[in-house]
Amino acid sequence: MFENLSYLALQQYWWMIVSLLGAILVFMFFVQGGQTMIKSLGKTDNEIKMLVNSLGRKWDLTFTTLVTFGGAAFASFPLFYSTSFGGAYWVWMLILFAFIIQAVSYEYRTKADNFLGAKTYETFLFINGLLGTILVGTAVATFFTGSEFLVTNMNYSIWQSPFRGLELAFNFARYETFINLSLGLAVFFLARVLGILYFFNNIEDETILARARKQLLFNALPFLVFFLFFLINVLFMDGFGYDANGVVSMVPYKYFNNLIEMPLNTVILVLGVVAVLWGIYRGAFHYEKCGTKAIWFTGGGTILTVFALLILVGFNNTCFYPSTSDLQSSLTIQNASSSKYTLVAMSYVSLLVPFVVAYIWYAWSSLNKKPITAKEMEDDHHAY
């Protein structure tokens, strides 16, 4: 079945899978967003415990999504993997470090003799929420604004900046740095919004929820500002396109043109943005009626929006990882992908994804039948 698809169709299929994983990852960042608000929403030990336990039952799924995203990127677009990870060394190392300290924090926080004390593990969770979201968002923005690297004729990559990726976030002499950071901050505030909406859905405690409701618009507003700044800049700047021979050039309004030339993707993007805003609106102004369901609108909208943005930068002869040092070194889904055989083999494995989603959904629903309460925290022997 997959053997009959063209090489390009397979490359597009795998870009869609990687994009979907990236989109789900951003939705799952509600865990990271929630982690940055543990101390502002929880004032007593038991309130903090409820918040930590609410997030603690989902953190591993976010982690797994990140790992699978990395694995899928490695398998389907290995030249991107080798170029970006080996090049922007410090950005990726900081992201990884933020996730290493998260992994133990839930399990160790309240255990006796945990060596570092509960507060240290709570700080680890905060750092993970802050750095993880901002850096991933900033890194993804470079898909539009470009990075400094060369690729040799043996396909070995050489990063051109001695700052190893940090220049993408801190070189303020370059306007694109603000675009990169704006997406990083948009992801950060979106994660906090998602975290709040998740708490609406998962915790049954009036005090915590009242504080969370107050926080919603304070986070939604900066998210909107940073997201619009990013989107408007991207749509009206020159983009990195390539022709039938693979020759890369700067194309005026490339991403705006992609919106027009890929109307279905544009519909997905608009639907996504509307759903994100609708969820926030319902959560903020109609909390009593549908506050618990708001996460599904904003979460679903997040998935659609991020997916559409990644399609925007990967399809229609667009370089998804452009080089500002040498345009011809830019990576496209065609020159960075695995062989056709490997893409076909992995495509069969991808048929398992609906089953994976089904059992995650079933397991999640089983656990979420009852929201987290203060009493449960007192009774549960394994509470974090």
Partner 1 sequence: MEHFDMALVDWSRAQFALTAMYHWIFVPLTLGLSFIVAIMMTIYVRTGNELWKKITKFWMTLFGVNFAIGVATGIILEFEFGTNWSNYSWFVGDIFGAPLAIEGIMAFFLESTFIAILFFGWGRVSKKFHMISAWMVALGSNLSALWILVANAWMQNPVGMRFNPDTARNEMVNFWEVLFSPTAINKFLHTISSGYVLSAIFVVGVSAWFLLKHRNVEFAKKSMIIAAVFGLLSSFYLVLTGDESARDIYHTQPMKFAAFEGLDDGNVSAPLVVIGFLKEVPDPRQPDVDRFAFKIEIPNLLSYMVALNSNVFVPGINDLINGNEKHGIMSYYEKIDKGKLAIKALGDYKDALERKDQVAAAENLKVFEANYAYFGYGYYDDPNDLVPNVPVAFYSFHIMVILGVHFMILFIVILVLLYKKKIEKTRWVLYVALWTIPLAYIASQAGWILAEMGRQPWVVQDLMPTLSAVSNIDKSSVVVTFWIFAVTFTVLLIAEIKIMVSQIVSGSKNEGGH
| Region 111-150 residues binding partner 1, contact defined as CB under 8 A | 111-116
The one among 2, 39, 46, 96 contacting partner 1 by CB under 8 A: 96
Smallest separation (angstroms) from partner 1 to the CB of 65: 8
Cβ-contact 313, 320 below 8 angstroms: yes
Tell me, residue by residue from 329 to 358, as one string, x for binding to partner 1 by CB under 8 A and - for no binding.
---------xx-xx--xx--xx-xx--x--
Smallest separation (angstroms) from partner 1 to the CB of 113: 4
Tell me, residue by residue from 356 to 375, as one string, x for binding to partner 1 by CB under 8 A and - for no binding.
x--xx--xx-xx-xx-----
The one among 7, 156, 175, 236 contacting partner 1 by CB under 8 A: 156
Q: Which is nearer to partner 1, 244 or 352 (CB)?
A: 352
Q: Is 287 in the site for partner 1 (CB under 8 A)?
A: no
Q: Which span (86-94, 204-212, 288-296, 311-319) binds partner 1, by CB under 8 A?
A: 86-94
CB atoms inside a 10 Å sphere around CB 248: 22
Q: Which is nearer to partner 1, 69 or 307 (CB)?
A: 69
Q: Which is nearer to partner 1, 97 or 287 (CB)?
A: 97
The one among 61, 217, 225, 284 contacting partner 1 by CB under 8 A: 61
The one among 33, 42, 87, 146 contacting partner 1 by CB under 8 A: 87
Cα 257 from Cα 289, distance rounded (Å): 41
Q: Is 235 in the site for partner 1 (CB under 8 A)?
A: no
